[in-house]
Amino acid sequence: MKTPITIEFPLAGEWLVGADGTEAGHERAFDFLRVDKKLKASRRAAWRELFQAVPLEEYYAWGQPMLAPFHGTVLAAVDGSEEIATSYLRTLINTLFSKQGNAELQQLQEAGAGDIRHFAGNHVILQSAEDTEVYAFLAHARKGSVCVTAGQQVEHLQKLAEVGNSGQSMTPHLHFQLMNQANPINAETLECRFRAYEVLVNDHWKKCELSVPKRRQRIRAVG
């Protein structure tokens, strides 16, 4: 069995694991959200998040830096996609019943290339310098925050963009995955593990090394 690829945790501060790579449609991919102790994603009441639009700047994850998980080359740095503040419930309904979105996805898969901003929003794709067959995909960045360009060399933990709500996103968050090619639509996701992070266990922070967090765990970056 192949050893998971070791990378740096691509965020700073404390996060909740919304998807840990085991859910259908998120195989070996992660969603990281920032929430408070009551698991609310914003400064507004929980019912407001569910039924009414919350200004994006009031979400705890909004504007937090997305970081490079390894030293490598920027293959794509896509910005300019708009973000719309809407309720969690309305976004969920639109995503589940979007026939147009399903048709677009099928067309992109058949073509093997194309504009993926409808799904990924503003995003960055990196190619690893250590293993050129490994690519990282960081999606849903804040409009105007992508601060790297295609062809640029970046160091691990260098800032690439900021967390936003562009593309198909129910709340500001980072969607992250490793892939075996540069096109996220047709790529096979790769198993990874983070070099180090901390997880909250019984109100105490425990350091984890060469591991991956589980869904609904509260974790934070080391250092």
Q: Could you report the per-residue pLDDT of 16-64, keeping only the tens digit for each?
A: 999 988 877 678 899 999 999 888 888 877 766 666 778 899 999 999 9
Confidence of residue 87 (pLDDT cuts 50, 70, 90): low
Q: Strands 135-141, 122-128: parallel, antiparallel or unpaired by DSSP? A: antiparallel
Look at the domain 5-220 and name its fold. Answer: Glucose Permease (Domain IIA) (2.70.70)
Where residue 137 falls among pLDDT bands split at 50, 70, 90? very high
- pLDDT over threshold 90, residue 74: yes
Overall average pLDDT of the 64-79 stretch: 98
What local confidence, expressed as pLDDT, does residue 150 receive? Answer: 97
Nearest to 217 by CA among 198, 193, 194, 196: 198
Percentage with pLDDT > 70 across the chain? 83
Residue 101 has pLDDT above 80, yes or no: no
Question: How many other β-carbons are positioned within 10 Å of the β-carbon of residue 19?
Answer: 20
Domain ranges of the chain: 5-220
Distance in angstroms (rounded) separating the CA atoms of residues 44 and 181:
40
**pTM of the predicted model, to two decimals?**
0.87
Vertex 70, ends 74 and 114: CA angle to 5°?
A: 35
Mean pLDDT of the chain: 87
Q: What is the pLDDT of residue 38?
A: 87
Q: State the alpha helices, DSSP H only, in 65-142.
A: 88-96, 99-111, 117-120
